[in-house]
Structure 1
């Protein structure tokens, strides 16, 4: 019996069609939600880290920059970066579920199911992105404590930006996890890739007045374009003097051209879709 015949015997013919794909996406999404609900310790640890970044580091930076805190609280500046970091960390954990599924044999059960593998990938990425955004909602509830108003339009803008950042990182993580067999290797690769990008995104420091080499790295960092719209949305609803806004909310520029928010969002969405496509390609190659 040929290899092709053996594979056909092992795996039933895949069922194609929008209805089957949506059902698969919903099933995988639901499983990710159940996993997240049963792992409350992980969610609490990420939330606690975010609160410490926001209030402890924010208080420390406020003490170092008293002239700024007279007009804008440093915690207000840190707030968009902290919520971005929170959803990024949760997205990394969600992508790690692919490695766990491989180690316990559940991934193989999903891959031999008579469905398109692309729908499995979409379900995992959507599940991770939505759950990471849901965890970020807890931080949004603390916005008033750091001088960020609870304006409905601002909350919607922050929710959208959080989901886009979570979708980007989850798609990247699933792409990486599809080719890595061990959890230690996966966490090492993700930490090596995501942590430097996160710190060079301007999440914890303003991108204005950076040295030339660091400014250049910032402009080619996709996470920069996920954090900047969040900060610009916050400062659009915060009463900040022009000089403070220019320092702490300068935006991103390419050769003197100020990049609009919609271009930043399109860029993040395009990179995220590229990672999603690569993740589907990698899943199709998994034996």
Structure 2
């Protein structure tokens, strides 16, 4: 979902280059609606991809209840929305797709690697543990894991932040990236 959410926003850069963005910018529509429409479009794409993979989870032995699947879908939607808005925040400022790819890869790889997706935060050096704690994707991933394994007490991924804290930070990430993307879009004139 991470890469789908982010790279769904490259259409903003392409629309600018092809002149389509200019017609959107002069339309009598508030910028927050334009950003919301773009964010919901990217969120939908990423969520559909995530749902496909979630449906395949039982084939690798992951068992979940109706409650855990509904919670997991909600967390996936939040994550996709926040990450899409992060992509929009960058895309609205970029003039070329090459620049967008360079900046997003420079940003995405560390976020991805330091989210706890590959290794738990337990046992890492102190400076790396703090870097992981500052990463909003760490909390989104923790919320997803808590939701997916909602009916169990398994803690196979090290010391994860509590579910409520993870959801709070993930929600805050969504709000901040949406506001940032909206402010960036509002400042654009062409």
1:199 pairs with 113, 121, 143, which one?
A: 113
1:284 aligned onto 2:158: no
2:46 pairs with 118, 126, 132, which one?
A: 132
C-alpha contact (below 8 Å) 1:100/1:183 kept by paired residues: yes
Q: How does 1:112-127 map to 2 (within 5 A)?
A: 112-127=26-41
State the TM-score, normalizing by the size of structure 2.
Answer: 0.93
Structure 1 runs (4+) greater than 6 angstroms displaced? none
Q: How does 1:157-236 map to 2 (within 5 A)?
A: 157-236=71-150
1:141 aligned onto 2:55: yes
Q: How does 1:251-266 map to 2 (within 5 A)?
A: 251-252=160-161, 260-266=162-168
Cα 1:237–1:147, aligned 2, differ >3 Å: closer, same or farther? farther
1:248 aligned onto 2:162: no
Pairwise CA distance, 1:286: 1.1
Runs of 5+ unmatched residues, structure 1? 1-86, 253-259
Pairwise CA distance, 1:141: 1.1
Distance 2:27 2:147 in 1: 44
State the TM-score, normalizing by the size of structure 1.
Answer: 0.63
Q: What's the counterpart of residue 17 of structure 2?
A: 103
Distance 1:140 1:286 in 2: 38
Distance 2:120 2:83 in 1: 22
C-alpha contact (below 8 Å) 1:91/1:132 kept by paired residues: yes
C-alpha contact (below 8 Å) 2:64/2:148 kept by paired residues: no
C-alpha contact (below 8 Å) 1:202/1:227 kept by paired residues: yes
Q: Which has the higher contact order (CA 8 A, sep 6+)?
A: 2
Larger radius of gyration: 1
Cα 1:143–1:238, aligned 2, differ >3 Å: closer, same or farther? farther
C-alpha contact (below 8 Å) 1:235/1:249 kept by paired residues: no
